Amino acid sequence: MAFPVKEILRSAQRFALILLFTPLLSLPILAAENVAFTAEYTDFSMSPQPLYDALESFSAHVGVNLILKKHNKLYQSLNKYYSHPLIGPYTPERALEIILADTPFVFHYELKTNRLLLENSPAKPALSTLDTATQPIEETNVKLPEEVLVRGYPFSFRDQMSAGLEVKRDGWGVIDSISAFKIGEFPDTDLLDALKRVSGVSVDRSAGIARWITVRGFGPDFNLVTLNGRQMPTALFESTDEQAPATRSFDFSNLATEQVARLDIFKTGRADNPSGSIGSTIDIRTHRPLDSPGQQFTLSGNSVANSLNKYQTSPDTSGLYSNTWLDDRLGFLISGSYREAERRTERVLIDGWVDNLDLGDNPLELNDNNQNIDGDYWLPRNLRYSQSLRSQKRINVNTSLQFAPTEQFKVTLDYLHTELDNREQRDEFAIWFQYYNTLDHLTIDENGSGLFFTQNGNDFTFSEHRQGDLNKNRSRGLNFQWQASSNLTLDLDIHNATATSSSSQNRPGELIIMGIPRVGSKTFDIRHTEIPIIDLTLESGLDEIQASELDMLWGRARDGGMKTEITQWEFSGRWQGFNKISLAQIDFGLGLTQMDTRSNFASSVIRPAPWPYGGNQELFDDALFPSRSTAGWLSEFSGNEGLLNNHFDIDTRQLIDISTPLFGWGEFKPNEQARSLHRVDEDTHSAFLQMHFKQAFFGQPLNIVTGLRYEKTKVQSDSFINRPISAQWSTANGWELLVAENKSFEGNASSYDAWLPNFDIDLELPYDLKLRLSATKTITRSDLSKLSGLNFTLEGQRAEIFSATRGNPNLKPYTSNNIDLSLEWYFTKHSYLSLGYYYKRVNNFITTQAVTPSDSDGFFAVTDPLNGPRADAARQSLLVEQPGVPITEQLIIENIATPIPDTENSILLGSNEDALASWTITQPINNGGSLTLNGIELAFQHQFENTDFGVASNITLTGGGTDYDLRKTGEQFVLPGRSDTANFIGYYDNGKLSVKLGYNWRDQFLSNTHVDITGDQPVFTESRQDIDIKITYHVNNQLTTYIEGLNLNGSTQRDFSRYKSQLISAQSFGKTLRAGFRYTL
């Protein structure tokens, strides 16, 4: 019987509502056990807060007497400062040092009376002794200047950097951390803007929006994101996808920063972290009320504008309220945010470079400089220009209820809801190339790239795409924490979360393509520019394309969706207090994670009648296609002056309404009969044990952490398959498969084990040096599409060999053996220098293989219309009637003499007389190979003494991973994403005014090993650099204003295939400006 997690969480939510409005509130607080300052480690979880509140929480936690009347002057002076965050296991002495950092106070502990004595440091005016055990203090001799400049939270960006430094220094393994200044005050307005300044982290963008990360060369599928230590489900569907979505990658654009208290980036494995990350584990910690006692309120708002959108502004607002009652035993927090954004992008694309085409035997002026040993050469498949307007609306709601009836027991109930509605309208015009007997001129460079050519004929198209996706995430968590004794802490965590993604507004992605069937000639030239120069000669003889020449080509409707649900529970504990041996702490736990993912996809090609196109122009009013200038498009790239002078706006929905009665389309929607359905279930049982040792090594503190995590995973993959029964020639783009009414079922199951050890050492050396060594084993599971069943692409098939894809539920996860070594020098409280080396050997790499399937299941019994008596007769007729003319698919179809239904529309169906078609199935496999990746990370952070200036920088240099051989064709065994990166931040912060200047650089890297349409071709992304600036002004303790500029240098992205002249895409993102305020009570 399944563990009733959802029922428990629903009951907890109901109980929470009762708890909020019922006066339970006279429960007594049990006195904390008095324990002296010892060398034992205690687990702390304290966010930045007023200093007195932090000291009070500290004294209660460790059992030290601290009694002050809140009305006296000492209390007021203490609360002019904020404490530093305190997260993780520390000795009481070290914990108090962190709390008091950057304040004028130092402490002494009096063992006999178990009391805490505070005083000013010698460099500050004397502060009277705090004798809290004998009498209350009515007056103090605190001497404060007339104007107190608060250097700590929430005003100082410098101290925020120092907080991350403390987590890095005091943690074990390789960890980076970014904390909120205080509740509701995360230092960056975007999570990925914060992450990209961490060494080894690169940001990946979609439509100009930062959405995923790459860490140490490992892309989003190799990084695990958790929320409060819990795994997050992911669902991502975009209606331009060619098949059902199946990603595991978390989309950071779903979360607002206002809900985030801290980001922890773990680059090494830990037994107490869930598996799934060869690159990194990123834990997002949200705010909780008992971490910041008292009433808290924050309201913020800003406007965002982008240069490509002519700086039209979009709103972004958020608010947070938190309060505690019953002497801070009951707390409730609620936060929410709403954001609208519009972003315009401009892009030029080529869908791959086709190799070694037959150019025919027509006379050709050829300038061949090819120096490839094998003589391989490549020509562009097409050329597309697009302008996209993407709008986005995001809603976030986060609540947290905590109740601590005693000092030893605490219950936490969390709920997070996010909605992200993306909509896109993309206008595009495209030129298509066919090379057989059409070329007049051709220039091939020394690398084999066709950089200049002139050809005759073929068409030219205009299109509009409208699509949208609605993404929702819901996370419900219930946690019980019990301090069973002074040594033992037990924790039970229950979590249920769902992520859904579907077409926005319940409409499919819609595409209408209009064409000009009669183009005289085309000239393509990319010899000396970043993007091609194109020149068209029209048969009409006019200089510009006219709306009257546009005819309907075809349309398409497609949609799909994805739902992922994760249910997990974990029972864990921590045992401390082994005073007489070096063993200081033992962590242990058992857990179960169940993931259920369902995805679906459907598409339809909708054709006009009669067909082929070229005779329907008179059916469409020219006013439907207003002409627009292309002036200013892609101005950042050389060659933009070679764009066509004009393009046409295509209103998809208006054309659908007009064309439906004209062509008898019926409802413009995907073919539900052909909808693919896939489901993947993963159940993972886990257990871990981790031990912390603390001892001295030649008088220096030595910490050793060793652990082992065991996981058993069961996989069940089920698919309802669209079984093809026939093929038909439908458009100039190829063949379309027709499917049976009833779907066929395919199911497969598998399982695997994983033993994941970790071993970490850190040794404190003289002169504030720290040496770290980490050896771990980690895994990453394949993306879900590789586990799904058989999937047929129903459109654009080739009659010679039909194709399909099939997942492989027997895939084993990638495994990586990792070594990390670093030396760190903390030469001041705010400064450090570190040098690190990492090594990863990744096994069980997943590649693809093409196989010829057997038809035991009857999935491939489709006849080939070009391999039968009708086609043979047509070929014979062509040989006689058109001698010397190449015999193409189009000519065979036009010359088939046998009458069949719909021949007036040029739709040719396969028949029983035709031979069975040949098939190729592409399937992922573990090829047994391995790759080695290594790198060096250098990080530096420094606050210049007696000034308000500071810097933080890092650089990561990577090696290994195998380089792509540009002269080879076919699939290669290589890891995409590896690149060198660097980040630099210079800042000025005087407490009132803060200026932060950021620079981010990523070197050229291999981003993909294939182009979707043309197959096994590499895609490289050129190096890019971003410059950002943020200016913050603190009007007073409550009101803060800021202005921010992103990508101020107008950085662009350019992708290419084997050589830089083989353009794949080039796009502009524009400059982004953001201005806003934050008000805090």
Residues ≥6 apart with Cβ < 8 Å to 142 = 73, 74, 77, 125, 127, 128
Site of tokens 């009347």: 69
Least confident of 20-24, 402-406, 783-787, 916-920: 20-24
Contact by Cβ (8 Å): 214, 249: no
More confident of the two residues 226 and 410: 410
Whether pLDDT at 24 is above 60: no
How high is the pLDDT of residue 30? 26
How high is the pLDDT of residue 904? 45
Q: 154 preceded by cis ω (within 30°)?
A: yes
Whether pLDDT at 114 is above 60: no
How high is the pLDDT of residue 690? 96
Triad 849, 853, 857: Cα angle to 5°: 135
Least confident of 149-158, 241-250, 589-598: 149-158
Pairing of strands 1039-1046, 209-215: unpaired
Q: Residue 303, Cβ neighbours under 10 Å: how many?
A: 16
How high is the pLDDT of residue 150? 28
Whether pLDDT at 41 is above 50: yes
* Residue 118's pLDDT band (cuts 50, 70, 90): low
Both tokens of 404, joined, read 């601590």
Whether pLDDT at 1006 is above 70: yes
Whether pLDDT at 539 is above 80: no
Both tokens of 933, joined, read 């990746």
* Residue 1's pLDDT band (cuts 50, 70, 90): very low
**Helices and strands in the chain, H and E counts:** 9, 54
Structural domains of the chain sorted by starting position, each given as residue range(s) with its CATH number in brackets: 304-862+916-1080 (2.40.170.20)
pLDDT tens for 642-669 read: 888 888 888 888 888 888 887 777 778 8
Whether pLDDT at 243 is above 50: no
What whole-number distance in Å separates Cα of residue 290 and Cα of residue 409? 13
pLDDT above 70: percentage of residues in the chain:
80
Contact by Cβ (8 Å): 690, 705: yes
How high is the pLDDT of residue 171? 78
Give the residues across from 812 on adjacent strands. none
How high is the pLDDT of residue 26? 31
How high is the pLDDT of residue 457? 73
How high is the pLDDT of residue 693? 92
* Residue 148's pLDDT band (cuts 50, 70, 90): very low
Whether pLDDT at 241 is above 80: no
Mean pLDDT of 441-456: 92
Site of tokens 């498009």: 633
Residues ≥6 apart with Cβ < 8 Å to 332 = 20, 289, 322, 323, 399, 400, 401, 402
Whether pLDDT at 315 is above 70: yes
**Axis-axis angle for helices 92-99, 157-170 (nearest 10):** 170
Whether pLDDT at 606 is above 80: no
Enter the pTM of the model: 0.79
- C-alpha neighbours within 13 Å on the C-beta side of residue 423: 13
Q: What is the dihedral of CA 758, 764, 768, 773, to 10 degrees?
A: -30
Both tokens of 660, joined, read 């439906």
* Residue 333's pLDDT band (cuts 50, 70, 90): very high
Q: Is the dihedral of CA 539, 543, 547, 550 positive or negative?
A: positive
Both tokens of 81, joined, read 């400062």
Whether pLDDT at 772 is above 50: yes
How high is the pLDDT of residue 184? 60
Mean pLDDT of the residues in the chain: 80
CA–chain centroid gap for 131, Å, is: 53
Whether pLDDT at 76 is above 70: no
How high is the pLDDT of residue 484? 93
* Residue 125's pLDDT band (cuts 50, 70, 90): very low
DSSP 654: H
pLDDT tens for 1013-1038 read: 556 788 999 999 989 999 999 888 78
Contact by Cβ (8 Å): 50, 82: yes
Give the residues across from 461 on adjacent strands. 430, 515
Mean pLDDT of 18-26: 38
Give the residues across from 378 on adjacent strands. 355, 449
* Residue 147's pLDDT band (cuts 50, 70, 90): very low
How high is the pLDDT of residue 835? 95
How high is the pLDDT of residue 525? 94
Mean pLDDT of 333-347: 89
What whole-number distance in Å separates Cα of residue 989 and Cα of residue 1033? 10
Chain length of the chain: 1081
Give the best-scoring range by mean pLDDT among 163-177, 880-894, 1046-1060: 1046-1060
DSSP 782: P
Contact by Cβ (8 Å): 564, 245: no
Least confident of 201-210, 721-730, 892-901, 907-916: 892-901
Whether pLDDT at 937 is above 90: yes
Least confident of 18-22, 272-276, 278-282, 657-661: 18-22
More confident of the two residues 396 and 458: 396
Whether pLDDT at 638 is above 70: yes
More confident of the two residues 432 and 778: 778
